[in-house]
Amino acid sequence: MATSSYLLVLGILMQTSLLTADSRQHVAADRRKNNPTIFNIGGVLSNRESMMFFKQTISNLNFHSQYVPKGITYDSTAIIMDQNPIRTALSVCNYLINQSVYAVVVSHPLTGDLSPAAVSYTSGFYHIPVIGISSRDSAFSDKNIHVSFLRTVPPYSHQADVWVELLKHLGYRKVIFIHSSDTDGRALLGRFQSTSQSLEDDVEMKVESVIEFEPGLDSFIDQLLEVKNAQSRVYILETDAKVIFQDASLLNMTGKDYAWIVTEQALEARNVPTGILGLKLVNATSEESHIKDSVYVLASALRQMNEALTIKEAPKDCGNTGQIWETGKILFEFIKKQTVNGSTGNVAFDDNGDRINAEYDIINVQNQTQISVGQYHYSNVRINSKLMNFMYRQIVYKYHL
């Protein structure tokens, strides 16, 4: 009798538990029924051609059931970026936020570099996610300032990851690091040091000397003389390359007895010596490819969020600062978790919203011509790994230091 009573009570409890779980699912489903059916995506782009491509990409997106479920429609609102950051911020308010955009894709102005930050500040105040497709300054990684900013391009500081792999391939274990005293220079040094220290136990890489300088220098001879007789003759250079290359050449420090490995910015100098090794981000200037990838990343994140959570409508008044748009904060986290095989390669983000898995060409300067002698790319075979294809025989100045 006691056993049958126990089983009866147990059965009732299990049935109640199932009903409770089922009712919770119905409640959640009912809440999602009230989610928006139209999602407006904003764009702040560099020219009219990019703006039209953005709008067409959003229009085409509606025919991809993989990203857009039945009953959902994507719309777009786009403006051309003004080189004046104040006017840009006002335009974001008047033409994007007032149209209830759920996210913003931002490029760069034809001149100036402050306007993307203005878009980030303005949108971030309302927690509207922003995906940058060209801004690579390390400052955008600071989530205390750019709270809702992500990007489909890596910051300049991520070049340090490639440098470490390149140095391993060349067998160099000691370097002299030359960088500017700005945010990008210090971020690059910090990442290089942390990446090199996390190598395998049998690989040790040291920074023999660090030279930090103020941007806009007129001469670098004194600094070069200090390290000319150092044990290491491998120089890592961040920027302000024109003056440094000029003075290094005067001191005969650019020939076969010295190795220079430089950033993308340094390769832009007109007097880059023969033999220099540098990097170039693959698809860096393909604005249309980055627009497409950012749109599909957003759609993927919104679909997942729409299936799982309640979505509140986006802000539609810059004058209303009294309520935080929690949906925007959650959407930002959903975007960070996306991985899309896009036009620019494998698109994914780190905790700061910075692009990871980016691909680079390894450049060797030969007779004032930049020749690709290798690639650094994401491996679809070995997850979270990088492969280095390096054509050592093709390099002018095969350093043995």
CA distance 228 to 231: 9
> pLDDT value at position 20?
52
pLDDT at 59: 97
Shared-domain flag, residues 73 and 194: no
Same domain, 57 and 149: yes
CB atoms within 10 A of CB 335: 23
Residues 182 and 235 in one domain: yes
Which amino acid is present at 383?
A: I
- Give the DSSP letter of residue 253: -
Q: Are residues 96 and 171 in the same domain?
A: no
Let me know if residue 24 belongs to a domain.
no
Burial 39-75 (b: 16+ CB within 10 A, else e): bbbbbbbbeeebbebbbebbeebeeeeebbeeebebe
Cα–Cα distance between 214 and 243 in angstroms, integer?
12
30 is a domain residue:
no
- What average pLDDT values come out for the chain (401 residues) when binned by 10 residues? 53 52 48 85 96 97 94 96 92 95 90 84 95 95 96 95 88 93 94 86 83 90 93 89 94 91 93 92 93 97 95 89 86 97 94 94 89 77 47 55 50
pLDDT of residue 27: 44
- 165 part of a folded domain: yes
**Partners of residue 388 on adjacent β-strands:** 376
CB 109, CB 46: distance < 8 Å: yes
211 and 271 inside one domain: yes
* Beta carbons of 328 and 377 less than 8 angstroms apart: no
| Residue 282 CA to its chain's centroid (Å) | 13
Predicted local confidence at residue 19, as pLDDT: 47
Q: Count the domains in the chain.
A: 2
The residue among 354, 345, 337 whose CA lies nearest residue 298 is: 337
Q: Does residue 342 lie within any of the structural domains?
A: yes
Retrieve residue 327's tokens.
Answer: 């949906």
DSSP category for residue 94 = I
Q: Please indicate, yes or no, whether residues 81 and 133 belong to a single structural domain of this protein.
A: yes
Whether 180 contacts 214, CB under 8 Å: yes
Structural domain of residue 76, as residue ranges?
38-153+286-356
Contact in structure between 276 and 61 (CB atoms under 8 Å): no
Q: What is the CATH number of the domain that holds 67?
A: 3.40.50.2300
Which of 153, 170, 164 has the alpha carbon at shortest distance from 191? 164
